[in-house]
Structure 1
């Protein structure tokens, strides 16, 4: 199920450059998520990374290029992250793993998730929006496929698949609006709790 992963040989210089790129994208994600695109400058990103603006421009042409890598990359990698972690198990368990893997991704890349969510509705660049929608549709299509497989296997009762998919995705996608890392459950635990509520309902057994 997982994609084959190979790691090319790298020189120390290439490794340093990759680490620097990761740092820049991580700090930029936090700034875009907290201050917005317009409220973030190249100077802000350079200061957050502890580097000069000239070094920042060595890696990226402008702020828009960084923003595109953060927001498009997050949408694309969410799909791959979840897909690669689906187990060879029963359909219902695969639905659960879809949800908890999404929670894991949110926990690891929370700032990029928030920046990407904002860009999803506000980015005027049509080419980027089209690509973003493509990956969103693949991610949504994946949960619908898993739900249908669970119905076909008799593990779920016959339900409206698109409606059920939207219920699951809505519970996960809105987590960023209220979640605080310093209190309560971790995102994968929240996703697992959502899964129990969806699978078992709220009515106590009689």
Structure 2
């Protein structure tokens, strides 16, 4: 009984720590997205989380570590989020469209993380974290390239330069955060769907 209680207590502490770290990362992403990296202090983060600075430093060494963790976590979650939403029985073009609309949906749900991680992506001096972020980014980019190649192989898309087309797709999506305003017009997923139509169906009248 005593051992079971001890295990339960330890599990509870681990869960609390995980929840606290998640809160810190979420609030930090929101602050970085609205105030910028230089405009956000550890005190700002602690106050937003309702904790002391000493507890904040218990979880993270400094602001750079928080910033880097946001960039790494967002890159990994983006890939997983998009991959999970690809229709298994869909046609190759439907899967390309789903990739783009899922990316737009991710941006809408986790906009603060997207903005903060975009700014932080290349700035982390820690080599191991940088390599891991690049791995997830390459998996995400590799996924759209495979989907485009599948559509070419099926005869749905004409033969094109796959890496170049993949970069066109990602560039259209990655820059949305620079101009998108939630209160105006389409949702990010709807914008991504329109991008799909423009890129793969073109502007030329039938």
Q: Give the TM-score, by structure 2 length.
A: 0.87
Cα offset, 1:12, TM superposition: 6.3
Per-residue deviation at 1:13? Answer: 5.7
1:155 is paired with a residue whose SS is coil
Q: Which residue of 2 aligns with 1:150?
A: 151
How many angstroms does 1:61 deviate by?
Answer: 3.2
| Aligned counterpart, 2:87 | 87
- The count of corresponding residues between Structure 1 and Structure 2 is 197
1:126 aligns with 2:127: yes
TM-superposed CA distance for 1:158, in Å, is 0.9
Report deviation, 1:16: 4.6
SS, match of residue 139 in structure 2? helix
The answer for unaligned runs of 5 or more in structure 1 is 1-8
Q: Is the 8 Å Cα contact of residues 64 and 124 (structure 2) preserved in structure 1?
A: no
Q: Distance in 1 between matches of 2:92 and 2:77?
A: 23
Distance in structure 1 (CA, Å) of the matches to 2:93 and 2:137: 22
> C-alpha deviations, 1:126-177, integer Å up to 9, x for none?
3322222221111111100000000001111111111110110000000011
The aligned counterpart of 1:28 is 28
Match of residue 41 from structure 1:
41
Q: Residues 44-101 of structure 1, C-alpha deviation per residue, up to 9 Å, x if partnerless?
A: 1011222222332333333233222211111111111111111111111000000011
Distance 2:120 2:64 in 1: 12
Match of 2:4 in 1: none
1:106-135 per-position Cα deviation (integer Å, ceiling 9, x unaligned): 111111111111112333333322222221
- Structure index of larger Rg: 2
| CA distance in 2 between partners of 1:114 and 1:97 (Å) | 22
| Deviation larger for 153-162 or 50-59 | 50-59
Q: Give the Cα–Cα distance (whole angstroms) in 2 for the partners of residues 203 and 146 of structure 1.
A: 24
The match for 2:169 is: 168
What is the match of residue 53 of structure 1?
53
For residues 121 and 21 of structure 1, what CA distance do their matches in structure 2 show? 23
Unaligned runs of 5+ in 2: 1-7
* Contact persistence 2:105–2:189 (CA under 8 A): yes
Structure 1 residues 94 and 122, CA gap change in structure 2 (3 angstroms): same
